[in-house]
Amino acid sequence: MLGQQILSGLATGSLYALTAIAVVTVFRNTRTINLAQGDFAMIGAFIAMILLKRFGLNYYATIALVVGCCMLLGVVVERVVMRPIAKADWLILMAATLGVYYILHGLAGWLWGRGTKAFPVPFDPTPVHIMGAVISKGHLANIGWALAIGCAIYYFLKHTRHGIAMRAVTDDPDTAELLGIPVKRIVMLTWAMAGLLAGFVGVLIAPIIYVSPQMMDQVLVKGYVAAVFGGLYSIPGAVIGALMIGVAENLAGGYLGSHYKTATAFAMIVALLALRPQGLIGIQKRREI
């Protein structure tokens, strides 16, 4: 029972982790608390639903298309909204993403309605036995996807030109600029990456929480809680935080009752921030935002 709770907690946690990675990447490269991150995924889920339902597209082709759309959305947001105010105070940047949040929320509600819709690909509940624990195939698939995406991002950041440039911008944008790194393009790439992650999250989470304009609100906040575990700066910290939240809230749901599932994450963040404000695995650097 315990092992099973932990395993399905890890499955949910892996999707929080993808959100948290996007949050951290955008924050450390652009100082932006991106409140629209969840809504990128929400738009992605709606597009996926339409592609699957109305056009009967193949599942994998849908994922590819949706991820492309979300990346484009990220780039458009960067170009149109964030670039003109890139030098502003972080509060202004956060409020601007709030504006994007309103726009995407409103668009989804206007085009597709406020109601909750089922996602055409059913969540595969076929049980699989792993080391005594029983987990559904759908959860296992999500873990697999998240792992693959995580590895791809690790490879990208460590071993490719653009990934290394991105980390240089994270460390010190001014020096990066002096070294000839096109900082503006890297910032754009950062937002594209946020879109990419959002696209995957949207498609993978839709069968579990269904599709509606407000579907991602809670997920986003948990992504942020996870990001704070890593001090809003460290990707491994954020991933560990996300997995912990997934497990903790699943355990709370199992042993205390499902009402307390959501409260757990927030209790965790309040406790964490009160005790270790720099995050669990935080880096003291760059706290002067």
Partner 1 sequence: MLKTDNTLAIAGRTAPASARESVKSLKARFARENWIMGILLFVCLAAAPILPGVKGWMATEASLVIIYIIAAQGVSILTGYTGLVSVGHGGFLAAGAYTSALFTEHYGIDMSVGLVLGAIFAGAIGQIMGLVFLRLSGAFMAIGTLGFAFFVGTIVNNVPLFEGRDGISLDHNHFFGFEIGDFGFYYVSLGVLALVTVFIYMLLNSGVGRAFKALRDSEKAAEASGVHRVRYRILAFTVSAAITGLAGVLNAHIVNYISAEVYGDIWYSVDILVAAIIGGSAMLMGPFVGGLFVVMVPFYLETLADFSFVLKGVVLILVLIFAPSGVAELIGRPLRNYRQKLLRAVQASQGPTAAESDIGGRRNV
Among 10, 21, 27, 202, binds partner 1 (CB under 8 A): 27
| Nearest distance from C-beta of residue 148 to partner 1, angstroms | 28
- Binding map of partner 1 across residues 94-123, x = CB under 8 A, - = no contact: xxx-xxxxxxxxxxxxx---x---------
Structure tokens at 28: 């450390």
Q: Which helix (H) or strand (E) holds 255?
A: helix 235-255
Residues 45-74 that bind partner 1 (CB under 8 A): none
Q: Is 144 in the site for partner 1 (CB under 8 A)?
A: no
Strand partners for 128: 135
Are 50 and 173 a contacting pair, CB within 8 Å? no
Closest distance to partner 1 from the beta carbon of 80 (Å): 8
User: Among residues 22, 215, 225, 243, which is the contact residue for partner 1, using CB under 8 A?
Assistant: 225
Residue 22 Cβ, how far from partner 1 at the closest point, in Å?
A: 15
Dist CA 264 CA 38 (whole Å): 20
Q: Amino acid letter at 62? A: T
Interface residue with partner 1, options 26, 33, 203, 235 (CB under 8 A): 33
Rounded to 5 degrees, φ, ψ at 8 are: -75, -25
Contacts of 217 (CB under 8 A, 6+ apart): 38
User: Which neighbouring-strand residues pair with 129?
Assistant: 134
**∠ CA 180-185-190, rounded to 5°:** 120
For partner 1, the binding residue among 50, 75, 81, 133 (CB under 8 A) is: 81
* Footprint on this chain of partner 1 (rule: CB under 8 A): 27, 33, 81, 84-85, 88-92, 94-96, 98-110, 114, 213, 217-218, 221, 224-225, 227-228, 232, 259-260, 262-263, 265-267, 269-270, 273-274, 277, 287, 289
